[in-house]
């Protein structure tokens, strides 16, 4: 597939065509070095400066050094607007792009060659000139219940305050536990855990992947099964973004690609893209693969959890976009568009009150 594919084609969601033409190349062992004199002598990875983001960048650096030991790989840490604005939810201040814009600027200016992201923070449609070059093997995609005093959502007393700024999690909690009080929770992982430890919340809901990557899985009191809290599109996956003109670099990143993880997140992100991929939408999508088959489950809901549309479809793992489009169609057959219209109207009304 050409680099400059039209919007809506696979490369707009995921750039690397080798997943379909040479999947074995995508699964090269990470410790198998590749010695080639044409590989750049120096690479710079752009990353947010949070502890989790730097862990992810360091992980990619280690993988690259194992493959290309002759290359000098540096990390350029920076603070994004999404890191700076902590008193409002993302849906009110610009959405997921706030976490990636500064990193993309560093690539445009030639200060960095690639950027490492948590895929769930990456907008569904990348700006012109940028593409995802690799999706690494996915970590645990589940939501995690974190509390110092309680073992699960079901054990919380009525009126307990639960922290999350995810509309998806808010809708799922409100539907099952309407007596709980849900309040916004912003900041990096350490900041969120600190707010819990200071007693601002009885419990908080976080992505299990981040807690595991930072070596604090003991903070997890309960893993919330996907059947009860369907994950966000791309949750638990790391992605590498590059400038589209860097076809040479994309080729060298192929060994970092993980076929099954990429296929799954393509399907999930396709569902989100159909509905606009906005932070104002409580939307979940989660794909699992068994052999050649992919199961894709998705949900859209109002923030109060009272109106919900769900879909559960099995299709070909080799055609993730087609399956994602089919699941979106199934959601629309349950009036998903009107549910999302309610979400957008509520968000607009809240913005008017704030202003």
Same-domain pairing of 113 and 32: yes
| Closest C-alpha among 248, 257, 252 to residue 34 | 252
In a domain, 105, yes or no: yes
Tell me what pLDDT residue 290 has.
Answer: 97
Same-domain pairing of 74 and 208: no
Tell me what pLDDT residue 340 has.
Answer: 86
Same-domain pairing of 63 and 48: yes
Same-domain pairing of 246 and 317: no
In a domain, 355, yes or no: no
Same-domain pairing of 32 and 114: yes
In a domain, 229, yes or no: no
Same-domain pairing of 23 and 93: yes
Q: Taking a C-beta distance cutoff of 8 angstroms, is the pair 47, 13 a contact?
A: no
Distance CA 142, CA 344 (A): 26
Q: Are strands 161-163 and 203-207 parallel, antiparallel or unpaired?
A: parallel
Distance of CA 249 to the CA centre of its chain: 23
Same-domain pairing of 26 and 106: yes
CATH number at residue 220: 3.40.190.10
In a domain, 230, yes or no: no
Same-domain pairing of 114 and 244: yes
* Catalytic one of 18, 83, 121, 222: 121
Residue 121 is among the residues annotated as catalytic for this protein: yes
Tell me what pLDDT residue 56 has.
Answer: 98
Same-domain pairing of 67 and 54: yes
Compute the radius of gyration of the chain from its Cα atoms: 20
Tell me what pLDDT residue 36 has.
Answer: 57
**In terms of residues, how long is the chain?**
355
Domain range holding 165?
143-224
Domain count, the chain: 3
Tell me what pLDDT residue 97 has.
Answer: 65
Same-domain pairing of 176 and 279: no
Tell me what pLDDT residue 154 has.
Answer: 97
Return all residues near 335 (Cβ < 8 A) that are at least 6 apart. Answer: 309
Same-domain pairing of 97 and 162: no
CATH number at residue 333: 3.30.160.40
Tell me what pLDDT residue 25 has.
Answer: 42
**pTM (2 decimals)?**
0.85
List the chain pLDDT tens, one digit each, 355 residues: 222 333 333 334 444 444 433 433 444 444 555 555 577 789 999 999 999 999 999 999 999 999 999 999 999 999 866 555 544 454 554 555 677 888 999 999 999 999 999 999 899 889 999 999 999 999 999 999 999 999 999 999 999 999 998 999 999 999 999 999 999 998 889 999 999 999 999 999 999 999 999 999 999 999 999 999 999 999 999 999 999 998 889 889 999 999 999 999 999 999 999 998 776 789 999 999 999 999 999 999 998 889 999 999 999 999 999 999 999 999 999 999 899 888 877 766 554 433 3
Same-domain pairing of 109 and 241: yes
């Amino acid at each position: 597939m050409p680099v400059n594919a039209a919007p809506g084609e696979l490369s707009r969601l995921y750039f690397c065509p080798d997943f379909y033409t040479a999947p074995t190349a995508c699964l090269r062992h990470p410790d198998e070095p590749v010695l080639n004199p044409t590989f750049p002598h120096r690479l710079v990875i752009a990353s947010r400066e949070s502890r989790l983001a730097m862990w992810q960048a360091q992980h990619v650096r280690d993988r690259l050094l194992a493959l290309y030991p002759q290359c000098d790989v540096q990390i350029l840490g920076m603070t994004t607007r999404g890191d700076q604005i902590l008193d409002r939810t993302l849906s009110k201040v610009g959405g997921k792009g706030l976490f990636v814009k500064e990193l993309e600027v560093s690539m445009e200016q030639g200060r960095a060659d690639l950027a490492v992201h948590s895929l769930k923070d990456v907008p569904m449609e990348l700006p012109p000139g940028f593409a995802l070059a690799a999706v690494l093997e996915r970590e645990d995609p589940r939501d995690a219940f974190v509390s110092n005093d309680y073992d699960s959502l079901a054990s919380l007393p009525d009126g307990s305050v639960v922290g999350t700024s995810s509309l998806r999690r808010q809708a799922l909690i409100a539907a099952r536990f309407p007596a709980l009080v849900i309040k916004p929770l912003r900041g990096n992982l350490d900041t969120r855990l600190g707010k819990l430890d200071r007693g601002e919340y009885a419990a908080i809901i976080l992505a299990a992947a981040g807690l595991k990557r930072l070596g604090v899985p003991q903070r997890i009191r309960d893993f919330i099964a996907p059947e009860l809290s369907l994950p966000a599109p791309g949750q638990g996956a790391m992605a590498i973004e590059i400038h589209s003109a860097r076809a040479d670099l994309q080729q060298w990143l192929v060994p970092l690609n993980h076929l099954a993880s990429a296929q799954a997140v393509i399907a999930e992100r396709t569902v989100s893209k159909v509905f606009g991929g906005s932070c104002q939408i409580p939307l979940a999508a989660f794909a699992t693969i068994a052999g050649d088959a992919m199961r894709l489950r998705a949900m859209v809901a109002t923030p109060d959890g009272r109106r919900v549309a769900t879909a559960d479809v099995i299709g070909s793992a080799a055609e993730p976009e087609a399956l994602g489009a089919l699941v979106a169609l199934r959601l629309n057959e349950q009036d998903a568009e009107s549910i999302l219209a309610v979400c957008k109207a509520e968000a607009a009304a809240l913005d008017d009150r704030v202003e």
